[in-house]
């Protein structure tokens, strides 16, 4: 068989294997806790996306855990803080980011605001883009950065590395300063929540509160229509999600 035939055979046989490998692999998420306290990450797949084997777990300071979502997976990851669960019954809850399940596993329930969210949509094939962002639309509880590893495209680091709890206005403060609520969560008005007559990019302008978030974390979503500077893309990457990164800005 000549080299041309060999090349054709490799393309015809190997490329489907590459596609099958991609479909099985998707991407790798590595969640790292660099906070000086234990967190309980929560995971919420979007409707139609498969689970990752857990929807919530304990992650002590300095430890990490990895997952492999399949191609096309979409969902969000966040940190729960100051949690307490009964060692016998498993029942309990968290001060911030609680998902209301009453257990370590969130079981398909999302974070109660305020919570910093890392959001992903993994591409459906080896040449399709992943979309990722960090959102402060539901408020802030823990600094997060998302880094793309080994992909192609813009693949920028995003997130909110600053501790917004330290500069949170009194009217948005949650508890004793454990988190910072969004203006929508506090005031509930259409202009802060981008609802009703304000439900469009042209009608819903950034507020003084979202601008405060944006000035500290320019690559994070600060309000619902903050897409142009807050959504990032990459092809074929793995992602590292770091809570409480060791630097305060980027």
pLDDT tens readout for residues 202-227: 999 999 999 999 999 999 999 999 99
| Predicted TM-score of the model (pTM) | 0.88
26 pLDDT band, cuts 50/70/90, is low
Q: Is residue 248 part of a domain?
A: no
What tens digit of pLDDT does each residue of 38-52 get?
999 999 999 999 999
Q: For tokens 């001060």, name the residue.
A: 95
Mean pLDDT of 88-106: 96
Q: Which domain holds residue 169?
A: 3-243
Quick one: average pLDDT of 114-132? 93
250 domain residue, yes or no:
no
Q: What are phi and psi of 190, to 5 degrees?
A: -55, -40
Q: How far apart are CA 42 and CA 54, in angstroms?
A: 9
61-88: b (≥16 Cβ within 10 Å) or e: eeeeeebebbbbbbbbbbbbbbbebeee
Q: What is the pLDDT of residue 124?
A: 85
If one counts the domains in the chain, the total is 1
249 in a structural domain: no
Residue 119: its pLDDT value, please?
A: 98
pLDDT of residue 125: 76
Residue 161 domain-assigned (yes or no): yes
**Which one has a higher pLDDT value, 183 or 14?**
183
**Tell me, what's the pLDDT at 57?**
98
Does a structural domain hold residue 43? yes
Q: What integer is the mean pLDDT of 143-147?
A: 98
On the question of pLDDT at 65 being above 50, the answer is yes
Domain assignment present for residue 100? The answer is yes
Residue 144 within any structural domain of the chain: yes
Checking if the pLDDT of 7 tops 60, the result is no
CATH number at residue 209: 2.60.110.10
Q: What is the pLDDT of residue 15?
A: 40
Instruction: Answer with the residue of higher pLDDT: 180 or 24.
Output: 180
Sign of CA dihedral 247, 139, 205, 75: positive
Q: Is the pLDDT of residue 126 over 80?
A: no
Q: Is the pLDDT of residue 121 over 50?
A: yes
User: In this predicted model, which residue has the larger pLDDT, 224 or 11?
Assistant: 224
- Tell whether 186 is covered by a domain: yes
Average the pLDDT over 182-197 and give the result: 97
């Amino acid at each position: 068989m000549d080299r041309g035939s060999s090349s054709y055979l490799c393309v015809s046989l190997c490329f489907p294997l590459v596609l099958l490998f991609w479909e099985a692999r998707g991407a790798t998420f590595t969640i790292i806790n660099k906070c000086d306290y234990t967190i309980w990450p929560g995971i919420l797949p979007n409707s139609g996306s498969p689970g990752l084997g857990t929807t919530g777990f304990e992650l002590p300071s300095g430890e990490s855990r990895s997952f492999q979502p399949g191609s096309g997976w979409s969902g969000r990851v966040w940190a729960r803080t100051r949690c307490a669960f009964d060692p016998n019954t498993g029942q309990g809850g968290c001060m911030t980011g609680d998902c209301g399940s009453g257990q370590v596993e969130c079981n398909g329930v999302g974070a109660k605001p305020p919570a910093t969210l890392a959001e992903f949509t993994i591409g459906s094939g080896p040449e399709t883009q992943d979309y990722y962002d960090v959102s402060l639309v539901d408020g802030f509880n823990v600094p997060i950065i998302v880094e793309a590893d080994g992909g192609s495209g813009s693949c920028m680091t995003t997130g909110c590395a600053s501790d917004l709890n330290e500069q949170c206005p009194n009217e948005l403060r949650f508890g004793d300063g454990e988190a910072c609520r969004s203006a929508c969560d506090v005031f509930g008005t259409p202009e802060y929540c981008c609802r009703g007559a304000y439900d469009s990019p042209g009608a819903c302008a950034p507020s003084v509160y979202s601008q405060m978030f944006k000035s500290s974390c320019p690559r994070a979503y600060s309000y619902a229509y903050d897409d142009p500077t807050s959504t990032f893309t990459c092809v074929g990457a793995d992602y590292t999600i770091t809570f409480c990164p060791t630097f305060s800005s980027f």
